[in-house]
A and B are shown apart, each in its own frame.
Chain A
Amino acid sequence: MKNASLPISIEKITKKYGSTYALDHVDLEIKSGEFLTLLGPSGSGKTTLLTVLAGFTRPDGGSVKFGGTEMVCVPPHQRDVGMVFQNYALFPHMSVAENVAYPLKIRGVKGLEAQERVERSLEMVRLGGYGKRGIDQLSGGQKQRVALARAMVFEPRIMLMDEPLSALDKQLREHMQIELRQLHEKLGMTTVYVTHDQREALTMSDRIAVINFGKIMQLDTPRAIYERPLNKFVAEFIGESTFVPVHIENGIAQFANFSFKTLHNDSRHGAALLMLRPERLKVLRDQDNLNTQFNEFSGQLVHLVYQGDSSLLEVKLPNDLLVQVRMPSVELQNHQNLQAGALLRLAVSVQDTVVLSAEGGTS
């Protein structure tokens, strides 16, 4: 395959508004052909970083390289990146085909060749034959796909997407997530995707960069981010979790009268936070015995909420700490004693016993 993508190298990118850092000396290496998601809450700086890549925001300083070429001073119209905006921004005074042909026209591609490329691009987003339609005749999902076709038609080697699916309803959104991922795999260009929806990030990305306060909190694969968050912010932002204050020494985390063996055979000593994910906690039956790969503790059941495919149990630990346990509803029938007040035996695998530093910094 010809070189369909470029790596992106971001170095010390900084943008300050008054006394606040929108971007704080950000360093990021994006691999060629990778699907990288910038994930964070609003105001985290994820969109600012994207607009810096696009050229619409001029940083105070730093370097942005596409495939080794310095781009940070290059104006947007010379960067040759494809971009999809949150509100589609289709040109209302042009037809669908004219919209998609726009970048080709600028690059001097006209006539039959342009027509063919436009039609091919539309077919790739499953809108073949829609060329003559007006923009106002399209639904939200269709508009988004035209915007995509328009951004792809000139075969950019880098694609930037700014929360493109947030205006669509849930079902359409999930469908488009899969389509976007498939397109990416087919075309192979480097894609930088911005979203605040952690589920979306987990579904679509090769790697996720979790951002807050203009800094990257963690850069890793979806699985690593979910199972090994480096700090409290990342742990809280992705998935559900309960935090238990513990005292860690020699690799053992101590809470009340419970000892948790942790994965980290490190030399940390002092106060820390134990992260427990509800779906990783098991409720043991009286007769169950565990091997050493599990940590066991117990608590009192406060109440149980049936939520369809899974059920949520709220359990009270010593020191009045409430922890949530998520159990597939099909297992409810295996337990006899699930009334309020019952004493439950709980277990968590040592693999899932993650300890974060108390301040929320990296471990």
Chain B
Amino acid sequence: MKWFKQPATDTQITHQSRVWLYAVAVVVMIFLVIPTLLVIPMSFSASQYLEFPPRKWSFRWYEAYFSSAAWMQATATSLKAGLLTALVATPFATMAAYGLHTSRFKHVNWIWMLLLTPMVVPVILIGIGVFYAYVKLKLVNTLLGLVLAHCMLAIPVVMLVVGSALKSYDMDQERVARSLGASPFYAFWSVTLPQIKFAVVSGAVLAFLTSFDEIIVALFVSGGDNSTLTRNMFNALRDQVDPTIAAISTLIVLITSVLLILTQYIGQDQSD
């Protein structure tokens, strides 16, 4: 308890007098994390009504999820869309970030802003706009249409991550490589890319998550056979509280956490 009376800051405020700060901080952190985590044990409850802690444990909601053709189809669609989005958006965005970084064009910032607008424009507007365009182009309820729209949403995210990595990268190395005989492309490929690969992988993961978790555009544009997981979940939420969603949520939380923690750790290794 001696620690309590120790000064916490240069201005000699003790920990004791700041206890309220620590309490608030901890409470807020709990507020942030707990709701999502609570879903996990609840998904194992045997009863129709979600309860915590579950009185009886069971896998029934997981079974319901895995045995439902509709849910499985939706999951497959979401996974496919996510992977395709990551595969397309990552190279597009990386090229764009690299091109803008090395260009001596005066108005580079304007192009940056244009490419970031999908993050600023209200998603609902994008959703109905894309829907309208797709009706005309007959791309509604197609995987292609969905992936195109998701790529548009993912590109700004990847550009920010890769752009930030390029900012702290020493471009002299590419110049050296070129002086040693490497063509501009080979110099990028053999020298720059290996050193920004963490950012590129990070960006790809975020692109995947952007697509996988995307709701609004999917709501309008994916349907029928190509309905996404998020669309089905959203509709289910509006109707009734289906416990299967708890199981799905748990799986989503686990996958997301694993992906994010992995990228964080790889990042630590590289920066050490």
Interface residues of A (CB under 8 A from B): 54-56, 75-83, 85, 87, 89, 91-93, 102-103, 106-107, 150-151, 154, 160
Which 8 interchain pairs have the tightest Cβ spacing? Answer: A103-B180, A83-B179, A89-B176, A106-B181, A76-B178, A89-B172, A77-B178, A93-B194
Q: In the complex, what's the smallest C-beta–C-beta distance from B80 to chain A, in angstroms?
A: 33
CB < 8 Å neighbour of A80 from B181, B182, B187: B181
Determine the residue in chain A with the shortest Cβ distance to B183.
Answer: A77
CB < 8 Å neighbour of A151 from B173, B175, B180, B183: B180
Is the CB–CB distance between A106 and B191 below 8 Å? no
Is the CB–CB distance between A89 and B170 below 8 Å? yes
Q: A83-B176, A92-B195, A106-B186 are known contacts; what are 7 more A-B pairs with Cβ within 8 Å? A: A56-B179, A75-B178, A77-B187, A79-B179, A85-B172, A87-B170, A89-B173
Is the CB–CB distance between B181 and A103 below 8 Å? yes
Is the CB–CB distance between B172 and A76 below 8 Å? no
Instruction: Determine the distance from Cα of A261 to Cα of B31 in the docked complex, in whole angstroms.
Output: 93
B190 cross-chain contacts in A, Cβ below 8 A: 102
Instruction: Determine the distance from Cα of A79 to Cα of B182 in the docked complex, in whole angstroms.
Output: 11
A78 cross-chain contacts in B, Cβ below 8 A: 181
Instruction: Determine the distance from Cα of A41 to Cα of B109 in the docked complex, in whole angstroms.
Output: 34
CB < 8 Å neighbour of B173 from A83, A91, A154, A160: A91
Q: A77-B187, A93-B194 are in contact. Are A107 and B181 (CB under 8 A)?
A: yes
Q: In the complex, what's the smallest C-beta–C-beta distance from A154 to chain B, in angstroms?
A: 7
Instruction: Determine the distance from Cα of A56 to Cα of B172 in the docked complex, in whole angstroms.
Output: 11
CB < 8 Å neighbour of A154 from B175, B176, B178, B180: B180
CB < 8 Å neighbour of B175 from A56, A102, A107: A56
A79 cross-chain contacts in B, Cβ below 8 A: 179
Considering residues B172, B179, B190, which has the most beta carbons from chain A within 10 angstroms of its beta carbon? Answer: B179
Q: Is the interface of B mostly helix, strand, loop or mixed?
A: helix
Is the CB–CB distance between A154 and B181 below 8 Å? yes
Q: In the complex, what's the smallest C-beta–C-beta distance from A191 to chain B, in angstroms?
A: 15
Instruction: Determine the distance from Cα of A103 to Cα of B191 in the docked complex, in whole angstroms.
Output: 12
- B79 touches A (CB below 8 Å): no
Determine the residue in chain B with the shortest Cβ distance to A54.
Answer: B179
Is the CB–CB distance between B184 and A89 below 8 Å? no
Instruction: Determine the distance from Cα of A77 to Cα of B175 in the docked complex, in whole angstroms.
Output: 9
- B165 touches A (CB below 8 Å): no
Question: Per-residue 0/1 for B168-207: is the Cβ within 8 Å of any A Cβ (1 yes, 0 no)?
Answer: 0010110111111111101100110011000000000000
Instruction: Determine the distance from Cα of A93 to Cα of B173 in the docked complex, in whole angstroms.
Output: 11
Is the CB–CB distance between A93 and B195 below 8 Å? yes
A92 cross-chain contacts in B, Cβ below 8 A: 195
Instruction: Determine the distance from Cα of A39 to Cα of B191 in the docked complex, in whole angstroms.
Output: 32
Interface residues of B (CB under 8 A from A): 170, 172-173, 175-184, 186-187, 190-191, 194-195
Q: In the complex, what's the smallest C-beta–C-beta distance from A332 to chain B, in angstroms?
A: 50
Q: A85-B172, A89-B170, A89-B175 are in contact. Are A150 and B180 (CB under 8 A)?
A: yes
Q: In the complex, what's the smallest C-beta–C-beta distance from A77 to chain B, in angstroms?
A: 5
Determine the residue in chain A with the shortest Cβ distance to B193.
Answer: A93
B178 cross-chain contacts in A, Cβ below 8 A: 56, 75-77
Determine the residue in chain B with the shortest Cβ distance to A102.
Answer: B180
A103 cross-chain contacts in B, Cβ below 8 A: 180-181
Is the CB–CB distance between B179 and A87 below 8 Å? no
CB < 8 Å neighbour of A106 from B170, B172, B173, B182: B182
Q: In the complex, what's the smallest C-beta–C-beta distance from B174 to chain A, in angstroms?
A: 9
Instruction: Determine the distance from Cα of A56 to Cα of B104 in the docked complex, in whole angstroms.
Output: 13
Q: A77-B184, A85-B172, A106-B186 are in contact. Are A91 and B179 (CB under 8 A)?
A: no
Is the CB–CB distance between B182 and A77 below 8 Å? yes
Instruction: Determine the distance from Cα of A215 to Cα of B183 in the docked complex, in whole angstroms.
Output: 32
A-B contact pairs, 19 of them (CB 8 A): A56-B178, A75-B178, A76-B175, A77-B187, A83-B176, A85-B175, A85-B176, A87-B172, A89-B170, A89-B175, A91-B173, A91-B176, A91-B177, A92-B195, A102-B177, A102-B190, A106-B182, A151-B179, A151-B180
Q: In the complex, what's the smallest C-beta–C-beta distance from A64 to chain B, in angstroms?
A: 15
Determine the residue in chain A with the shortest Cβ distance to B174.
Answer: A89
Q: In the complex, what's the smallest C-beta–C-beta distance from B199 to chain A, in angstroms?
A: 14
Q: In the complex, what's the smallest C-beta–C-beta distance from A53 to chain B, in angstroms?
A: 11
Instruction: Determine the distance from Cα of A229 to Cα of B135 in the docked complex, in whole angstroms.
Output: 80
Instruction: Determine the distance from Cα of A51 to Cα of B235 in the docked complex, in whole angstroms.
Output: 62
B195 cross-chain contacts in A, Cβ below 8 A: 92-93
Considering residues B186, B187, B190, which has the most beta carbons from chain A within 10 angstroms of its beta carbon? Answer: B190
Q: In the complex, what's the smallest C-beta–C-beta distance from B188 to chain A, in angstroms?
A: 12
A150 cross-chain contacts in B, Cβ below 8 A: 180
A160 cross-chain contacts in B, Cβ below 8 A: 179
Is the CB–CB distance between B181 and A77 below 8 Å? yes
Considering residues B173, B183, B184, which has the most beta carbons from chain A within 10 angstroms of its beta carbon? Answer: B173
Is the CB–CB distance between A106 and B176 below 8 Å? no
Q: In the complex, what's the smallest C-beta–C-beta distance from B102 to chain A, in angstroms?
A: 12
Instruction: Determine the distance from Cα of A81 to Cα of B187 in the docked complex, in whole angstroms.
Output: 16
A75 cross-chain contacts in B, Cβ below 8 A: 178, 184
Is the CB–CB distance between B175 and A106 below 8 Å? no
Considering residues A76, A85, A87, which has the most beta carbons from chain B within 10 angstroms of its beta carbon? Answer: A76
Q: In the complex, what's the smallest C-beta–C-beta distance from B165 to chain A, in angstroms?
A: 14
Q: In the complex, what's the smallest C-beta–C-beta distance from B30 to chain A, in angstroms?
A: 42
A151 cross-chain contacts in B, Cβ below 8 A: 179-180
Determine the residue in chain A with the shortest Cβ distance to B171.
Answer: A89
Instruction: Determine the distance from Cα of A91 to Cα of B172 in the docked complex, in whole angstroms.
Output: 10
A77 cross-chain contacts in B, Cβ below 8 A: 178-184, 187
A93 cross-chain contacts in B, Cβ below 8 A: 194-195
A89 cross-chain contacts in B, Cβ below 8 A: 170, 172-173, 175-176
Instruction: Determine the distance from Cα of A54 to Cα of B179 in the docked complex, in whole angstroms.
Output: 7
Q: In the complex, what's the smallest C-beta–C-beta distance from A107 to chain B, in angstroms?
A: 6
Q: In the complex, what's the smallest C-beta–C-beta distance from B192 to chain A, in angstroms?
A: 10
B181 cross-chain contacts in A, Cβ below 8 A: 77-78, 80, 103, 106-107, 154
